[in-house]
Amino acid sequence: MENHPPVRVERRPVSEEESRRANGPDWDRYADEYQATHGEFLGDVGFVWGPEGLTEARAGILGDLAGRDVLEVGSGAGQCSRWVRAQGGRAYGLDLSFRQLQHSRRIDLDTELPVPSVLGTATALPFRDDSFDVVFSSFGALQFVSDIDVAVAETARVLRSGGRYAFSITHPTRWMFPDDPGEEGLTASQSYWDRTPYVEIDDATGVVAYVEHHRTLGDWVALLAGHGFVITDLLEPEWPEGHERVWGGWSGVRGRLTPGTAIFGARLD
C-alpha cells in the first residue's frame, strides 16, 4: 500500500478482472521505487520470505531444489528464482507487471544468471499440466487475486504429484490492524473475519487503482486441503533482534508483538 496516486479507500467486493486491471498497472507504476527501496535487502540472487528477512536457505521449506522444475508466481524482479537457479533448480518466473519483469531482465544481465519469465496471471498459468516439482510465491500474487480458488487450482494443475507448494503472505491477523508501522498499528480496528477487499479508487478518474484481498488462516487451510494439498508447514517468523528495517506496515514496533508474515508449505498428494 505504498506510492499510489491520490486515492480514496473503500471496502467493497471487487471481481478478478477489476483486481487485475488495477494491480497490473499499479505494480508497473510502483516497480522502480520498489526495486530502488527493497532491491538491496532482497539481493539480486537472494531468497527472503518477507520483511523479517527469513531466507529460504534457513527455512528450507522448498526442499532440495537441484534438478527440480520450479515456478515462481508473482516473481517480480526474479530475485528468489535466481537464488533457486544458483542452487541448481530450473526456476521460471511469472508476473502480472511488465515493469517488474523489465527489472528482472536487468538483473539477469547484471548477474549472468537469467530467470526465463513470462507476463501472466496466477489464475491462468500458461503451462501444461504436471510441469513443475515446486511452485512458490514470496509475497507474490496471492493477496492481489480475487479468484483465489482458481489460483490454487491452477497451481495444483501444473504441479506434479508429490510436488511442493509454498507461499508467504501478510499474516492474516494483520488485517485487523491499521497498516501503520508505529503504535497506531497495534490497535485492532476491524474484524478479522470481514473478507471485504481493501480498495483504493483514483481520485482523479474514479477508477479502481489498487486492491488487496484477505483470507483467514482457516480459509487458507480449507483452500489447500480442498485442492489436494497436505499442509506441511506454517511458519510465522519472529522479528529478529536488532532488525530495524521498516517496510510498509512492518516494523520492529509491531513485529516484536504480532506476526507480520505467514509462510505456508504444502505437498500435493
**Residue 96 binding ligand SAM, by CB under 6 A:** yes
Closest CB 186 distance from ligand SAM, rounded Å: 23
**Residue 80 binding ligand SAM, by CB under 6 A:** yes
* Greatest extent of the chain over all pairs of C-alpha atoms, in Å: 50
Taking CB under 6 A as the criterion, the residue among 45, 91, 122, 134 binding ligand SAM is 122
Least Cα distance to 28 among 116, 111, 95 occurs for 95
Taking CB under 6 A as the criterion, the residue among 83, 92, 132, 139 binding ligand SAM is 139
Q: Which is nearer to ligand SAM, 23 or 261 (CB)?
A: 23
Taking CB under 6 A as the criterion, the residue among 89, 92, 97, 117 binding ligand SAM is 97
Q: Which is nearer to ligand SAM, 17 or 269 (CB)?
A: 17
The answer to whether 45 and 86 have CB atoms below 8 angstroms apart is yes
**Residue 158 binding ligand SAM, by CB under 6 A:** no
Q: How far apart are CA 79 and CA 66, in angstroms?
A: 17
At 154 the three-state DSSP class reads helix
Least Cα distance to 81 among 99, 105, 52, 51 occurs for 105
Closest CB 187 distance from ligand SAM, rounded Å: 25
CA 87 and chain centroid, separation? 21
Element (H, E) at 132: strand 132-138
Closest CB 10 distance from ligand SAM, rounded Å: 19
**Residue 138 binding ligand SAM, by CB under 6 A:** yes
Taking CB under 6 A as the criterion, the residue among 69, 84, 100, 223 binding ligand SAM is 100
* Number of Cβ within a 10 Å radius of residue 112: 6
- Residue 105, all three cell numbers: 531482465
Residues that bind ligand SAM (CB under 6 A): 20, 23, 27, 42, 73-74, 76, 80, 94-97, 100, 121-122, 138-141, 144-145
